């Protein structure tokens, strides 16, 4: 019997999958590969079932002779190990990541023998509905909130992108790239106080109030499924912070990060160029403890941000605070720096990890942006936040266009840099 292989990365079985299995099993003995959870996260969406549950689900289907785990999105191990006569796949090679996978399969089959069989994708109302239901389930507060915790156990480093609107949320949700053997996408989103304020033309001084910040969160929640980390500034008065915690939990936000400053907050990237006051360890610990006390769900995280390096107070002070904040109940530590090099951040991470192996470390490499994710992970960092790049990318592009229209007294010259009208009117999927 010829050997046939297909790979599934789905939580649900619909008529399109059944059609692939039916057609594939006509060609010979069918082995179905099930993509592991960690690869699902990189390539598709967060799985609502574990790898084992998904393997069991496929084992039940008629026409399936064997089920194996596919550990990488690229087919190298599978094709070299199994030597299938046929690899079967739907013909929906829509995005660049899928095209890279198709090229990988074709080149491996050329080398090892075998044929790629492409089955027409099933475009039916039922398939679309099931797909939409799955997305909506992932977007529900109870599902979304706990996902940051789960990610921390599943990926080497949680890649987090700044978002400040529904549109930037969609970019964080959908952007996917294929590079060599790997396919990659963002794991989580950061609602930055700097970008949320700047987008509104306001300074980053806790002037944009919580009602308005929550409105931004809601815009993002409406169109995405990935977990959200909220920049809670100083957390405000402890008596107010406890209400903020409850509201964020209810919305399905996964974590709030509060910084140990007091009085009029200024953006950290000003450093000591402006007057900024660090809170006392005692006060800030009381705020963390009150937040943890107010929290109702098990999975919401309160992350304490240490400003000692920003304010030139050194590693000793940062370490002393880290110890105290964890003791007060912080679920993670964010250490910030405005240095051009990552040295002081990596030194802190090494010192902290020598004492504390488990509390998650969060970093924001805006100024020390040469550091790579793997370097950070090697020093024990768990979450990396790209905190303002989306907004900084948009501003110069919009300003260039505005200048071009003024200079040329028409819009034609700007056109080559713009998204086409057809693309913009079809960018947003309708229900």
Instruction: Provide, rounded to whole angstroms, the least separation between the CB of residue 187 and ligand SPV.
Output: 17
Looking at 44-52, 193-201, 284-292, 293-301, which segment touches Mg ion (CB under 5 A)?
A: 193-201
Nearer to ligand SPV, 114 or 332 (CB): 332
Nearer to ligand SPV, 129 or 340 (CB): 340
The residue sitting closest to Mg ion, measured at its beta carbon, is 193
Q: Between β-strands 255-259 and 332-335, what pairing exists: parallel, antiparallel or unpaired?
A: unpaired
- Classified as helix, coil or strand, 162 is strand
Instruction: Provide, rounded to whole angstroms, the least separation between the CB of residue 234 and Mg ion.
Output: 10
Q: Between β-strands 66-70 and 29-35, what pairing exists: parallel, antiparallel or unpaired?
A: parallel
Instruction: Provide the b/e sequence for 57-66 (b: ≥16 CB within 10 Å).
Output: bbeebeebee
User: How many whole angstroms separate alpha carbon 228 and alpha carbon 163?
Assistant: 9
**The binder of Mg ion chosen from 173, 187, 231, 260 (CB under 5 A):** 231
Instruction: Provide, rounded to whole angstroms, the least separation between the CB of residue 237 and ligand SPV.
Output: 19
User: How many whole angstroms separate alpha carbon 73 and alpha carbon 35?
Assistant: 7
Nearer to ligand SPV, 139 or 269 (CB): 269
Which residue is associated with the tokens 């592009």?
A: 397
> Any bridge partners for residue 323, and if so which?
none
Q: Are 257 and 306 in contact (CB under 8 A)?
A: no
Looking at 138-146, 226-234, 242-250, 399-407, which segment touches Mg ion (CB under 5 A)?
A: 226-234
Q: Which of Mg ion, ligand SPV, none interacts with 85 (beta carbon under 5 to 8 A by kind)?
A: none
Dihedral sign, Cα of residue 295, residue 298, residue 304, residue 305: negative
Nearer to Mg ion, 196 or 249 (CB): 196
Q: Which of Mg ion, ligand SPV, none interacts with 387 (beta carbon under 5 to 8 A by kind)?
A: ligand SPV
Nearer to ligand SPV, 36 or 193 (CB): 193
CA nearest neighbour of 269 among 339, 316, 209, 208: 339
Looking at 79-87, 118-126, 185-193, 329-337, which segment touches Mg ion (CB under 5 A)?
A: 185-193
Catalytic residues: 204
Supply the DSSP symbol for 291.
Answer: H
Instruction: Provide, rounded to whole angstroms, the least separation between the CB of residue 329 and Mg ion.
Output: 22
Instruction: Provide, rounded to whole angstroms, the least separation between the CB of residue 67 and ligand SPV.
Output: 44
Binding positions for ligand SPV, rule: CB under 6 A: 192-194, 231, 267-269, 364, 366, 387-388
Looking at 72-80, 98-106, 144-152, 229-237, which segment touches Mg ion (CB under 5 A)?
A: 229-237
- Applying the rule CB under 5 A, the residues between 194 and 223 that interact with Mg ion are 194
Instruction: Provide, rounded to whole angstroms, the least separation between the CB of residue 348 and ligand SPV.
Output: 16
Nearer to ligand SPV, 8 or 214 (CB): 214
Instruction: Provide, rounded to whole angstroms, the least separation between the CB of residue 267 and Mg ion.
Output: 7
The residue sitting closest to ligand SPV, measured at its beta carbon, is 192
Q: Which of ligand SPV, Mg ion, none interacts with 364 (beta carbon under 5 to 8 A by kind)?
A: ligand SPV
Q: Which of Mg ion, ligand SPV, none interacts with 97 (beta carbon under 5 to 8 A by kind)?
A: none
Q: Which of Mg ion, ligand SPV, none interacts with 285 (beta carbon under 5 to 8 A by kind)?
A: none
Q: Which of ligand SPV, Mg ion, none interacts with 36 (beta carbon under 5 to 8 A by kind)?
A: none
Neighbours of 113 (CB within 10 A): 11
Nearer to ligand SPV, 104 or 160 (CB): 160
Number of residues that bind Mg ion (CB under 5 A): 3
Terminus-to-terminus CA distance in the chain, angstroms?
A: 44
> Any bridge partners for residue 127, and if so which?
none
DSSP string, 89-123: EES---SHHHHHHHHHHHHHHHHH--EEEEEPP--
User: How many whole angstroms separate alpha carbon 385 and alpha carbon 374?
Assistant: 14
Instruction: Provide, rounded to whole angstroms, the least separation between the CB of residue 190 and ligand SPV.
Output: 7
Supply the DSSP symbol for 28.
Answer: S
Q: Give the chain's length.
A: 431
**The binder of Mg ion chosen from 51, 168, 193, 337 (CB under 5 A):** 193
Q: Which of Mg ion, ligand SPV, none interacts with 366 (beta carbon under 5 to 8 A by kind)?
A: ligand SPV
Q: Which residues bind Mg ion (CB under 5 A)?
A: 193-194, 231
């Amino acid at each position: 019997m010829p050997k046939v292989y297909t790979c599934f990365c789905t939580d649900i079985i619909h008529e399109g999958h059944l059609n692939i299995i039916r057609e594939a099993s006509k060609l010979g003995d069918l082995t179905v590969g099930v993509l592991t959870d960690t690869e699902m996260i990189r390539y598709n969406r967060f799985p609502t079932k574990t790898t084992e549950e998904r393997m069991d689900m496929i084992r039940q289907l008629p026409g399936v002779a064997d089920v194996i785990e596919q550990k990488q999105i690229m087919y190298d191990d599978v094709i070299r190990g199994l030597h299938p006569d046929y690899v079967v796949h739907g013909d929906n090679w829509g995005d660049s990541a899928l095209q890279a996978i198709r090229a990988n399969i074709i080149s491996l089959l050329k080398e090892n023998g075998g044929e790629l069989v492409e089955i027409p994708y099933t475009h039916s109302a039922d398939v679309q509905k099931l797909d939409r239901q799955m997305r909506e389930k992932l977007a529900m507060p109870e599902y979304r909130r706990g996902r940051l915790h789960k990610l921390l156990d599943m990926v080497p480093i949680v890649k987090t992108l700044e978002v400040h609107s529904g549109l930037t949320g969609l970019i964080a949700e959908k952007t996917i790239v294929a590079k060599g053997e790997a396919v990659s996408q963002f794991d989580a989103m950061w609602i930055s106080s700097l970008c949320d304020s700047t987008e509104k033309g306001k300074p980053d001084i806790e002037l944009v109030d919580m009602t308005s910040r929550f409105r931004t969160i809601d815009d993002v929640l409406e169109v995405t499924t990935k977990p959200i980390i909220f920049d809670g500034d100083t957390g405000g008065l402890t008596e107010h912070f406890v209400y903020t915690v409850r509201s964020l939990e209810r919305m399905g936000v996964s974590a709030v990060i509060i910084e140990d400053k007091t009085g009029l907050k200024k953006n950290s990237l000003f450093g000591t160029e402006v007057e900024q006051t660090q809170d006392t360890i005692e006060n800030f610990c009381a705020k963390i403890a009150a937040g943890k006390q107010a929290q109702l769900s098990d999975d919401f995280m309160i992350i304490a941000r240490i400003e000692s390096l920003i304010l030139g107070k050194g590693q000793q002070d940062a370490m002393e605070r880290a110890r105290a904040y964890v003791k007060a109940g912080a679920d993670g530590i964010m250490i910030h720096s405005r240095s051009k090099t990552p040295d002081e951040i990596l030194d802190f991470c090494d010192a902290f990890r020598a004492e504390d192996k488990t509390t998650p470390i969060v970093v924001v490499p805006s100024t020390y942006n040469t550091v790579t994710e793997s370097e950070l992970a090697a020093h024990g960092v768990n979450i990396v936040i790209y905190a303002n790049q989306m907004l900084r990318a948009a501003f110069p592009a919009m300003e260039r266009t505005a200048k071009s229209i003024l200079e040329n007294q028409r819009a034609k010259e700007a056109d080559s840099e713009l998204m086409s009208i057809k693309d913009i009117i079809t960018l947003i999927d309708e229900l």
